[in-house]
Chain A
Amino acid sequence: MAVLEIILVIFLVFSALMAVRFDEELISIIFLSIFSLILTALYLLHKAADVALAEAVIGAGLNTAIFMSAISQIRHGDSD
């Protein structure tokens, strides 16, 4: 379990850094979604099922959709 936890934490930091690093908003959003997914697995490893469920639903699901719609509005304004 400890090895799995270390691997997950490494990927967590990696995805967070990638989300900040890229200029393209779409890639950043995808990496944020991956970040939330890894965080869900970590919460589940620590036996916090309620928080894991909230993180999966809000972080990986809802946030991505809302960010996507915001991004599409920005693109729409730019192309005009």
Chain B
Amino acid sequence: MEIPTETQPEVEILNKLMKKALVSFVLAGVAFALYRSFALMPAYQGLNLGLSNYIIESGLKDTGSLNLITAVLYDYRAFDSLGESTVIFGAVSGIVLILSRKMLPVSSKGLSFIVKRTLGIMTPFIALFGLYIMSHGHLTPGGGFQGGVILAAISIIFSIVYGSAFDYRRYSPQTKTALETGGALTFLGLGLAGILMEGAFLQNLGFLTAETGTLISAGSIPYINIGVGFKVGAGLAIIFYSMIQKTFEEDF
């Protein structure tokens, strides 16, 4: 059977025309859809401040959280935060699927002795700061996401300063995966507890509310924060780790 090695010039021109026609058809369709949805929008009538005024007035009473941003993120719009963490989970899964290798990565010996000792003193305080940001999300600025990224930064510091094998031995990928899954399950479990006890998914658990301003108050918000923090931190550490894994494969 003969396989044509070269397409005919007429066929090529026709192909190009077909492609152009298809692209313009799709673009026209998208433009039409955009026009229809923009035509539905009402004219600008000034900012509608009803919802934000409501949250500012009764957010503290509804949720018990002093930080209204956390109140919105993990109480009023907790379902959106669940979607966000699902996006991060998908990203981590994809990157690990593409980049991960089953081998012990050994990088250089790390940086000099002075840097190692200095970071050895500083790292516990960085971890403490991350945990503080995570657990005090309902009282001070911050929350699960920011604290989790600070925890991921510790893993990055270990990889850079002590060499990537150190991080592998201390916190193996299995530990990180368990932390990430545990955080996600905490979030989902609190959501399901909301169904059982309060009647709606991710509803704030009333029986956990204590005096406003104390650490264990604001219902389920601190627990969701801690879950999201460990999930995000472990996920981002896994991403960085699988990127660095490939880098040093030849440096044995």
Contacts and interface: CB of A to CB of B under 8 A. Distances in A.
A62 B156 contact: yes
A66 interface: yes
B69 interface: yes
A61 B149 contact: yes
Interface string A66-80: 100110110010000
Contact of B149 (A57, A70, A73): A57
A57 B247 contact: no
Main secondary structure of the interface of A (DSSP, over half): helix
A54 B150 CA distance: 10
Contact of A62 (B141, B143, B153, B160): B153
Contacts of B149: 54, 57-58, 61-62
Given A50-B69, A62-B156, A72 B247 contact: yes
A50 B140 CA distance: 9
A72 B108 CA distance: 13
Interface residues of B, number: 23
B12 to A, nearest CB: 34
A61 B69 contact: no
A65 interface: yes
Given A50-B67, A62-B240, 16 more contacts: A49-B142, A50-B70, A50-B141, A50-B146, A53-B133, A53-B142, A54-B145, A61-B156, A62-B149, A62-B156, A65-B153, A65-B160, A66-B239, A69-B243, A70-B243, A73-B246
Interface of A: 49-50, 52-54, 57-58, 61-62, 65-66, 69-70, 72-73, 76
Interface of B: 67, 69-70, 133, 141-143, 145-146, 149-150, 152-153, 156, 160, 236, 239-240, 243-244, 246-247, 250
